[in-house]
Chain A
Amino acid sequence: MLSRVRLLVGLAWRSVLAHRGKSLTLSLSFMLNTALLIVIGSVVRSSSQALEHSLTESFVGHLQVYSNGARDTLDMLVTAWTAEQRDSGNLKDYEAVAKVLEQAPEVRGFAPIGIWNANIRINSPLQEKVQALRRLYEREPRGDAAAVIADIRQAAGVMLNHVKAGYGSLARDAAENAGAVQALERAVSDTFWTELEQDPAKGIEFLDTKIVRWAGDTRILRSPVLGVDFEALQKASGRFELVSGKLIPPGVRGILLEHDRREAQARHPVLLALDDLAELLASRGRLSDADMSQRRARLVEMYDLIGLQLPADKVAALRERIRAFDPTLDGELGAQLRGLLAVDNDNFAKRRAFIYEAIAPLLRKYSVDVGDIVSVNSRGRDGAPKSVRATVFGTYRFRGVQMAKHVSYNLVDFATFREIYGEPTAETLAEMAGMRERYGIGAAEGMSKSDEAALFGGAFVVEEELHAGAGGFTALVDSALDEGKSFRKDAAKKAGAATTGDLVPAVVVWLADEHGVEAARARLSAALQSAGVSARVSTWREAASRFATQLSFLQVQIGMGGIAVFLVTLIVANLGVVIATAGREGEIGTLRAQGASRGFVLRLLMCESLILSFLSALVGAAAGVALLAWVGRYGIPAQSPAMEVIFGGPRLFPVLGVAELIGAISATVVGSLIATALPAFEAASTEPQVAMRQRW
């Protein structure tokens, strides 16, 4: 038997070498197939792992525990529009769940979480200034309002000039526009401000109702919020990254904004438009006249978004700088800004640099910034409107999934979440009662905006400091933990208590071994049942099914690519073997005449194919590994935000797996044998008489 095998291998090897031209052609196809299969396989597996890691190491975790009485399955990837539509219930006995999880050896960490929809209300810059003016006038003694008044007059002047210079109207209706002009003329007059000194409430009401409306509406940032225990999240999540600001200290109310969502929604529109155009020019080189003209018109229209924000005391110096930058940019401020924003392919880079250097420092780069206090509004589960004031402590992202629309949550502490969610726990009710008592507010359900202002205005007296710079914000954080700030201290205790309260929609679980998800689910389900907890356990694939589906789709696509490569190789190999064996009819006939059986010829041809494909696959595998190492060094750039999510970042760095290596070599060898089988069988059927007939 061994000698027969040796004979076959010897003859086949001799034949492979002898037919080296044909062998080389086939072998190139086998090599390419192996190399491509290794690269494709590694990309599929690496992307799968990258996305899995990105998700499981974010707030999604490996497993999720939620109420057995939930009407809907838990979806960790809701949008602002769908968050309120789902009802995944509340865990009635969080303490018991926590106890089970603490005792489970496979659990690396866990955190209570809740997801709900909320809007962040952002006032226009002029509205902020009018509110600041109100606060200054409400203080005892009255604060120095000169700078704020100058800014308001400056903004009103910009709007008035907009109409008078013929740049556009403020209202669609001519009569209303005339009324606006009349109001603005009053707002810039000395008379108005003298009267305001005497009757601030009336004057501020005039500003609030007749002037602010023309400076742009209040903006609403829609986003789901994720209530979370920050300490647990930071400890267990490997992908949580604070981009700016500070982490919300334990027990303090606050909000962390999702970095990319804030970049897209809250960045100053002029700066955003300039950055977009810069990116476009960087990729295209130049824009067509039509494209550039369209973008220029849009930029010029936004000139007032600069003018409205400029501090009055900086305007003169800025106008001088603009003139010095380009002497043709003369005239009043509006004309100068419009001229400056009238960019073209040639002057864009220079003008953008100037705007960033001379104007951007005078503007609020973001309509909501670290240190701001924002209103987080929602419709609670009970259907009633809820509103919570929260300090923006910073911006964050979950690395790898930051570009995903589905993962764009703003994070809030759990106490804040409970209020947004709208099912107050006993602790929250006690907390609210305490606040009412402290600030002498009636026992009305919910909080009106004025109540809120009364409540939080006092609590956040350092608001002005916040805008003064980082020191101000640091002071806020420090003061939040200060013993002297009794309200915050109370809030801190209550927020901490919330994690052990009876309102916990779900618990995210991170496992020590990412490969044991299903087994851990089964064990935890059994343990929870034994502990008498009515809860169900989902896996990340279920709770993040949209991503899992997206990933499966991508894997199918890439897998199809792999199958296509494999099939092409099969066809090429098949054709190659058909051609090769057809040319060997005389040789095979002669072998048959010398006594070689059909089986022997079949085995010989298959053995040749085996040797050739195996050796080629080894060389192809070496090439594939080298290619993968090269790709792995530079990474495959993600071509879209969706790809970025699947790649777990801007680039995918595929890593070779033993399974891909063995799989690719095996696939090539098996494929070659399949491709060879039929032509080899036909060739083996060659009758020995062919040798007599053949004329070589």
Chain B
Amino acid sequence: MDYIVELRNVRKEYRLGNQTVEALRGASLNVKAGQFLAIAGQSGSGKSTLLNLVGGMDRPTSGEIRVDGADISNLDRAGQDAYRLRKVGFVFQSFNLLHVFTAFQNVEMPLLLAGGMTAGERAKVVHQILADVGLGEKANRKPSELSGGEQQRVAIARAVVKRPPLVLADEPTANLDSRTSTVVVDLIRSLPKKYNTTIIFSTHHEPLMQIADVAVRMRDGNFVDSGAAA
């Protein structure tokens, strides 16, 4: 099978003072390319740890993580930086827009960091993607001048602007009202097809589980159906 993400018996332990906390306890998961995967679970179930590991922001204590065919389990810091830069887009619960920059500048940032494009090329891509998320007219607004839903749409645009094979969304609707959540979820739902990407998002809202291609649950650092394969 053609999996974009493969987790094999992944464990993650943290030291909290003298105690060792097991955040992930041998989790295994396969995600097909182009899928929209929802991970549900209560706080502390291991969702965020999983996203951190798949997002190349942390390394597992043991086990293997492969993304787009490459093992990212043991990447050094530079390798992780390069991985995040090229392969992953993030959508955060709190949007994490740079509030001093405009919507355009926020979306442009990953392209700037990745380099290789002229200002004109970047502008074209950014304007297009902002139009795609329905904010073409608000490109020059700062986050403080946008509603919560609009801010999250800017964040989604930023996540996909460099066309990454994988987008990770950490409870993207947690700070939104239900109506706005629906709009944002619809937008996220449309991403795999539109941008040829794969979406993994975490949530603890049951309704969102219904619209995902695959939904998995986590509890105590593992998937409820251990070895869940989407």
**8 Å CB contact of A595 from B48, B92, B101, B113:** B113
Q: Is the CB of B94 within 8 A of A3?
A: no
Q: Is the CB of B52 within 8 A of A595?
A: no
Smallest CB-CB separation from A590: which chain B residue? Answer: B96
With contact pairs A11-B112, A14-B101, A18-B101 given, residues A595 and B94 touching in the complex (Cβ less than 8 Å): no
Chain A residues contacting B99 (CB-CB under 8 Å) are 587, 696
* A 572-601 binary contact with B (CB < 8 Å = 1; else 0): 000000000000001101111111111010
Q: Is the CB of B109 within 8 A of A594?
A: yes
The CA of A694 and the CA of B155, in the complex, are separated in Å by: 15
Q: Is A516 an interface residue (CB 8 A)?
A: no
The CA of A11 and the CA of B119, in the complex, are separated in Å by: 13
Chain A residues contacting B57 (CB-CB under 8 Å) are 593, 687-689, 692
Q: Is the CB of A692 within 8 A of B51?
A: yes
The CA of A587 and the CA of B92, in the complex, are separated in Å by: 13
**8 Å CB contact of B81 from A7, A597, A695:** A597
Q: Is the CB of B58 within 8 A of A689?
A: yes
Q: Is A19 an interface residue (CB 8 A)?
A: yes
Q: Is the CB of A594 within 8 A of B84?
A: yes
* A 593-616 binary contact with B (CB < 8 Å = 1; else 0): 111111010000000000000000
Chain B, range 105-158, C-beta contacts under 8 Å to A: 105, 109-110, 112-115, 158
**8 Å CB contact of A591 from B58, B83, B113:** B113
Q: Is the CB of B112 within 8 A of A7?
A: yes
Smallest CB-CB separation from A597: which chain B residue? Answer: B81
Q: Is the CB of A597 within 8 A of B96?
A: no
Q: Is the CB of A10 within 8 A of B98?
A: no
**8 Å CB contact of B112 from A10, A688, A691, A692:** A10
Q: Is B86 an interface residue (CB 8 A)?
A: yes
| Shortest CB distance B133–A (Å) | 17
With contact pairs A593-B55, A696-B95 given, residues A691 and B90 touching in the complex (Cβ less than 8 Å): yes
Smallest CB-CB separation from A696: which chain B residue? Answer: B94
Q: Is the CB of A694 within 8 A of B96?
A: yes
Q: Is A515 an interface residue (CB 8 A)?
A: no
Smallest CB-CB separation from A21: which chain B residue? Answer: B100
Q: Is the CB of A594 within 8 A of B100?
A: no
Chain A residues contacting B112 (CB-CB under 8 Å) are 7, 10-11
Q: Is A550 an interface residue (CB 8 A)?
A: no
Q: Is the CB of B78 within 8 A of A597?
A: yes
Chain B residues contacting A592 (CB-CB under 8 Å) are 81
Q: Is A15 an interface residue (CB 8 A)?
A: yes
**8 Å CB contact of B109 from A591, A687, A691:** A591
Q: Is the interface of A mostly helix, strand, loop or mixed?
A: helix
The CA of A439 and the CA of B158, in the complex, are separated in Å by: 115
Q: Is A438 an interface residue (CB 8 A)?
A: no
Smallest CB-CB separation from A595: which chain B residue? Answer: B85
Q: Is A172 an interface residue (CB 8 A)?
A: no
The CA of A691 and the CA of B95, in the complex, are separated in Å by: 9
Smallest CB-CB separation from A11: which chain B residue? Answer: B112
Q: Is B205 an interface residue (CB 8 A)?
A: no
Q: Is B77 an interface residue (CB 8 A)?
A: yes
Chain A residues contacting B81 (CB-CB under 8 Å) are 592, 595-598
| Shortest CB distance A599–B (Å) | 9
| Shortest CB distance A402–B (Å) | 62
Q: Is A139 an interface residue (CB 8 A)?
A: no
Q: Is A4 an interface residue (CB 8 A)?
A: yes
> Number of B residues contacting the other chain (C-beta, 8 Å)?
34
Chain B, range 56-75, C-beta contacts under 8 Å to A: 57-58
Chain A residues contacting B51 (CB-CB under 8 Å) are 692
Chain B residues contacting A14 (CB-CB under 8 Å) are 101, 105
The CA of A15 and the CA of B96, in the complex, are separated in Å by: 16
Q: Is the CB of B58 within 8 A of A696?
A: no
The CA of A7 and the CA of B85, in the complex, are separated in Å by: 15
The CA of A541 and the CA of B136, in the complex, are separated in Å by: 74
Q: Is B170 an interface residue (CB 8 A)?
A: yes
With contact pairs A14-B101, A692-B51, A692-B170 given, residues A596 and B113 touching in the complex (Cβ less than 8 Å): yes
Chain B, range 133-190, C-beta contacts under 8 Å to A: 158, 170
Chain A residues contacting B94 (CB-CB under 8 Å) are 694-696
Chain A, range 273-292, C-beta contacts under 8 Å to B: none
Q: Is the CB of B170 within 8 A of A587?
A: no
> Number of A residues contacting the other chain (C-beta, 8 Å)?
30
The CA of A10 and the CA of B97, in the complex, are separated in Å by: 19
| Shortest CB distance B154–A (Å) | 13
Chain A residues contacting B48 (CB-CB under 8 Å) are 692
* B 43-58 binary contact with A (CB < 8 Å = 1; else 0): 0000010011001011
* A 670-688 binary contact with B (CB < 8 Å = 1; else 0): 0000000000000000011
Q: Is the CB of A595 within 8 A of B105?
A: no
Q: Is B82 an interface residue (CB 8 A)?
A: yes
Chain A residues contacting B95 (CB-CB under 8 Å) are 696
**8 Å CB contact of B92 from A18, A600, A691:** A691
With contact pairs A692-B51, A692-B92, A696-B99 given, residues A595 and B115 touching in the complex (Cβ less than 8 Å): no
Chain B residues contacting A597 (CB-CB under 8 Å) are 77-78, 81
The CA of A354 and the CA of B35, in the complex, are separated in Å by: 111
With contact pairs A691-B90, A692-B48 given, residues A595 and B84 touching in the complex (Cβ less than 8 Å): yes
Q: Is the CB of B113 within 8 A of A594?
A: yes
The CA of A590 and the CA of B101, in the complex, are separated in Å by: 13
Q: Is the CB of B110 within 8 A of A595?
A: yes
Chain A residues contacting B101 (CB-CB under 8 Å) are 14, 18
Chain A residues contacting B98 (CB-CB under 8 Å) are 18, 587, 590-591
Chain B residues contacting A587 (CB-CB under 8 Å) are 98-100
Smallest CB-CB separation from B158: which chain A residue? Answer: A594
Chain B residues contacting A594 (CB-CB under 8 Å) are 84-85, 90, 109-110, 113, 158
| Shortest CB distance A277–B (Å) | 67
| Shortest CB distance B58–A (Å) | 6
- A3, A4, A596 interface centre (most CB from chain B within 10 Å): A596
The CA of A589 and the CA of B85, in the complex, are separated in Å by: 13
Q: Is the CB of A593 within 8 A of B84?
A: yes
The CA of A19 and the CA of B158, in the complex, are separated in Å by: 21
The CA of A587 and the CA of B95, in the complex, are separated in Å by: 11
* A 1-35 binary contact with B (CB < 8 Å = 1; else 0): 00110010011001100110000000000000000
The CA of A597 and the CA of B113, in the complex, are separated in Å by: 9
Chain B residues contacting A695 (CB-CB under 8 Å) are 94
Q: Is the CB of A600 within 8 A of B52?
A: no
Q: Is the CB of B96 within 8 A of A691?
A: yes
- B51, B58, B99, B113 interface centre (most CB from chain A within 10 Å): B113
Chain A residues contacting B109 (CB-CB under 8 Å) are 591, 594
| Shortest CB distance A593–B (Å) | 5
The CA of A594 and the CA of B81, in the complex, are separated in Å by: 8
The CA of A696 and the CA of B95, in the complex, are separated in Å by: 8
Chain A residues contacting B85 (CB-CB under 8 Å) are 594-596
Q: Is the CB of A595 within 8 A of B86?
A: yes
Chain A, range 630-664, C-beta contacts under 8 Å to B: none
14 interchain pairs, CB-CB under 8 A? A3-B115, A10-B112, A15-B100, A587-B98, A587-B99, A587-B100, A590-B92, A591-B98, A592-B81, A596-B113, A692-B48, A692-B52, A692-B92, A696-B95
What 3 pairs across the A-B complex have the smallest Cβ distances? Answer: A595-B85, A18-B100, A595-B84
With A592-B81, A692-B52 given, can you name 15 additional A-B contacts, CB distance below 8 Å? A7-B115, A587-B98, A587-B100, A590-B98, A593-B90, A593-B96, A594-B85, A594-B110, A595-B85, A595-B113, A596-B113, A598-B81, A600-B113, A689-B57, A696-B97
